[in-house]
Structure 1
Amino acid sequence: MSALFSTAAVFGIVATLALAPIAPPADLAVAEASLAAATARDEVQRVDIAGDATQPAASRESYTASTGPETLISGGTNLDWAKLVLVEGGWPLTEANVTFMMRWMRQENGADNWWNRNNPLNNGQGSGGGSGLGSYPTLVEAAYYAAENLKSGRYPAVDAALTRGDSADATAQAIWASPWASSHYGYGTHWSSRPYEVIEAPASAWGR
């Protein structure tokens, strides 16, 4: 009988522990009480957002890779030289500008020998040949002097058209009307708009 009573007493204690809720820690109870009091006093910090508010668009900067002279020199083609002149002159490397340069170079020396005398545009400035029959030590110097001549103030319409960079035909008309060539390229009759060919010059023409 005594054993049965002891077992019942132990069972009663265990049941009491299982059913009784565990009291929260003192600091948690204090925090909850403080939050309840603050809520009652309307002291809880909140952010009100207007119903018509819109999320600002994220700013995404635009970056473009620039083509450096060394990259073009290592390329070694007439296309690279055309771009090198544009880089030297600070003109944009647009498709229209590159197309104009390639067509112009072809009119001056022909695609198969575009590096003739290292003077693709038969430029007189800095080449020792006032009529455009001079030569340069390398195609690198030729690109520099071609850009310098076009920026000299003697060809303002060409410079302006290259600065816009939006029309190969408009830039061609500017060079026809300029004093660059005494023939004025027949004002277009001696000018071809057929697709250009990309041809590599000998490494020695680039000074390599």
Structure 2
Amino acid sequence: MAIPAALAVIAWGAAMMMAPPPLPSAADTARTAAQSSAAQLPAQSLTVDGTVPDISVVRDGYTATDGAQTLAANGTNYDWAKLVLVFAGWPTTESNITVITRWMRQENGVDNWWNRNNPLNNGWGSGGGSGLGSYDSLVTAAENCADALHRNSGYTAIAAGFAASAPTGEIEAAIWASPWASSHYANGSHWSSRPADVVKAPDDAWG
């Protein structure tokens, strides 16, 4: 009778090993339901009304101005004219540059515009009250020219013309009327309005 009892014990143990797993908790059930619901959500889309206007974004423009080193490296009379304007804080516009290059031609001629490193025969800081002084470089000359036009009350109309980038005739008339040249350029009759040739100064004139 011992054998049937042993078989009963073995059968009971096998039954215990084949018992079903425990039921899931309430939290597990809720998590599974949420995941299933999320998986079944329809794809989302966005529709824009065709009457909505297209808005273009306009960005601010920008400009760049050559510095003293770049202008000196180029080294022409037009570069010196720009340098005066840069030091004075005035626009480097075509009309302003045209006036200064014409003015330089009246003072020293275009082929030797760098004479004594004083293109406009400026007496301000050059050691020559009559405008026959000289500067150590064309850069220094440009600085002193800008300074003179700003600080000498006799040149107020010239400075205002450059600041406003006025028409060439308006600025030139202010130059003729000023005390810059004792001849006043014969009120303009000794003044050429044709474009000045582009001429490069020797490198050593720039310092």
Q: Does 1:197 align with 2:204?
A: no
Other-structure match for 1:82: 81
1:75 and 1:30, CA in 2 relative to 1: closer, same or farther beyond 3 A?
A: same
- Cα distance in 2 for partners of 1:57, 1:149 equals 47
Other-structure match for 2:54: 55
Q: Does 1:172 align with 2:179?
A: no
Q: Deviations over 1:62-94 (max 9, x none)?
A: 011211110001111111111111111011010
Is 1:119–1:135's contact at 8 Å kept on the other side of the alignment? yes
AA matched with 1:173: A
- Cα distance in 1 for partners of 2:56, 2:150 equals 41
1:180 and 1:148, CA in 2 relative to 1: closer, same or farther beyond 3 A?
A: same
> What is the TM-score of this pair, normalised by structure 2?
0.76
- Cα distance in 2 for partners of 1:143, 1:61 equals 32
1:95 and 1:33, CA in 2 relative to 1: closer, same or farther beyond 3 A?
A: same
In the alignment, structure 2 segments of 5+ residues that lack a partner are 1-32
Other-structure match for 1:140: 139
Q: Secondary structure at the match of 1:121?
A: coil
In the alignment, structure 1 segments of 5+ residues that lack a partner are 1-25, 37-43
1:123 and 1:98, CA in 2 relative to 1: closer, same or farther beyond 3 A?
A: same
How much has 1:33 moved relative to structure 2?
A: 5.2
Q: Deviations over 1:153-178 (max 9, x none)?
A: 42111111101114111111111111
- Cα distance in 1 for partners of 2:152, 2:109 equals 27
How much has 1:56 moved relative to structure 2?
A: 2.5
Other-structure match for 2:20: none
- Cα distance in 2 for partners of 1:111, 1:186 equals 20
- Cα distance in 2 for partners of 1:127, 1:153 equals 15
Q: CA RMSD in A?
A: 2.5
Other-structure match for 2:90: 91
> What is the TM-score of this pair, normalised by structure 1?
0.76
- Cα distance in 2 for partners of 1:57, 1:166 equals 35
Count of aligned pairs between the two proteins: 175
Other-structure match for 2:162: 162
Other-structure match for 1:31: 38
- Cα distance in 1 for partners of 2:124, 2:140 equals 11
Other-structure match for 2:121: 122
AA matched with 2:127: G
How much has 1:29 moved relative to structure 2?
A: 5.9
Other-structure match for 1:188: 188
Q: Deviations over 1:2-26 (max 9, x none)?
A: xxxxxxxxxxxxxxxxxxxxxxxx8
AA matched with 1:163: A
Q: Secondary structure at the match of 2:151?
A: coil
**Which structure has the larger Rg?**
2
Q: Secondary structure at the match of 1:84?
A: helix
Query: Alignment identity in percent?
Result: 55
